[in-house]
Structure 1
Amino acid sequence: MQYNNNKNFNLNVAEAEKNYKSDKFSEAKKCYQTALNYKEDSNLQSKIKLCDNLQDSYNEYNKGTELLDKKDYLGAYNAFKKVSSEDQKRFSIAKDKLTQSSKLYIDSELGQAKDFASKADYQNAITHINSILSIDSNNQIAKALKTQYESDLQKKLDEQKRIEEEQAKQKEIDNVKNTIRLINAWTSRPNSAGGVDLKILWTNTSNKAVKYAFFNVVPYNAVGDPQQCTIRHDPSFRGKVTGPINPGQTYGGDQVWECAWYNNTIVSVKVKSIDITYMDGSTVSINEKQAEYALNY
């Protein structure tokens, strides 16, 4: 019985070694495992683990070779990187192929990055540069290009933002132009009691008749500081116009808001906002910035 066990052990070990040398690691593992049925051997346990490792390494090497032929350089790189240092037959070759795959991948990504950058598509250019840095974080060319492309991208975004803001501003101006034109807003000289009158000359530039218009106005002194009424203790005045004011009609030549404020230092005014109600019931509100557009065109 002992003789037969030894014999079967040796036969299976011999077959395992034969498969091992032929890179048939799965078959070698099975033979080692069968041999252990006849005799315990800690050395064979280690060889079984090695077979698993080498089978994975063998598969990754073949996968890398196939992907390299297909010009999938990143896939090949990742596969060759997994070849085990215990795989004495393939490890050194895999290292060379790893370097080759890395170079080919970097050259390809670099070319694509430059191509995108030439078209001012800096976001995609940066994506390709980041792909390079993911496998070679110290690549000086990629690092320099990333800095350049990020700067170019920011300039592009800033310019786009400027254009969008200019377009939005122009749209806002056009909307105001199609609503109202402020020809002038001014005050009288203070009377003996310090009362200051307000006049506003304006044109209804919309295509609808105005029912009511409210002008919110603040006065200023000679050095540009806002002033308030010494009686109401409020700087703002809300002047009301009752229509109808027809489309294209200029109004305000004869309208005077007498003693809008009492303050003998007032020399000028600014329209801070305008609220308009049309005869059809629709409304529009104009803020301070828009009121400046209405005054300056």
Structure 2
Amino acid sequence: MTSVPTAPEHDFRLLHDALGPLRDREQVAKRLLESSAKHSFDPETELDWDAPPEEGKWFLPPELVSLYDTPLWRGMSEEQRLDLARHEAAALASLGIWFEIILMQLLVRHVYDKSVTSHHVRYALTEIADECRHSMMFARLIEKCETPAYRVRRDHHNLGRVLKTVSTTPGSFAATLLGEEILDWMQRLTFPDERVQTLVRGVTRIHVVEEARHVRYAREELRRQMVTAPRWEQELTRLSCGHAARVFAVCFVNPRVYDNVGLDRRGAVAQARASGHRREVMQSGAKRLTDFLDDIGVLRGPGRALWKRSGLLA
């Protein structure tokens, strides 16, 4: 029978695994810079923003809509389902902008004391430029959806203000991955789906290609930090990451979308929360991330319980 490593043995394994990344941080950043030079996009010119919406096509794959396969969904007309998908696409784009603005500030804080000529800092600045373009791209998509821009709740907005002010370095990269990887999973299902609006598919394709580099950068840095950071900082990261997962899971569905398509908000929220399909979607979207966080020792102690409460971890 295979023995389960004790915490010290696990920490030693993490240290051994991290020695390579610690030595080649600059090489990783250099490769990411080379990839950015070859595979970056300008959404203003890459996408046809003047094309009208395509009749009968979705703004999200229906399986990703919060109410999919609920009793309420089964009672909705096809037109109302399409309308809900359009509003939820705009709400996700709004969430993406909120998150990317936080991320850009976290990255600026990360590089503030580091060598400005290093590949590591150059790539961070490249990523910030990418995120600026993505935020503008999402804003244009919201306009094309002809919906409101869906802001997160005031308390969550203020929590974001706290996070970008006081977050530790490993906490910042853990939060980065939380925001990027679940949306990335959803977008990988969206851009090849021919049922979806061409513009939405183009937006998600650009985002997936460029976010793949951002995820690599954040994973490499978080792995290093969970070995080299002081123990108190590691423990704080585990706890703060769990709280962030709980908040982020709530933010994924903006209840105002239900008001705007003529549904009862309270009933719709209740059915979305009770939906086994929705729970499976969120856990599938988080699976690659939670496996990684578990491997590097983030999902331990009270933080793991918070992840379970969020619904993102089975």
Higher helix residue share: 2
Highest RCO, 1 vs 2 (Cα 8 Å, sep ≥ 6): 2
Q: Same fold (TM over 0.5)?
A: no
TM-score normalised by structure 2 residue count: 0.19
Higher strand residue share: 1
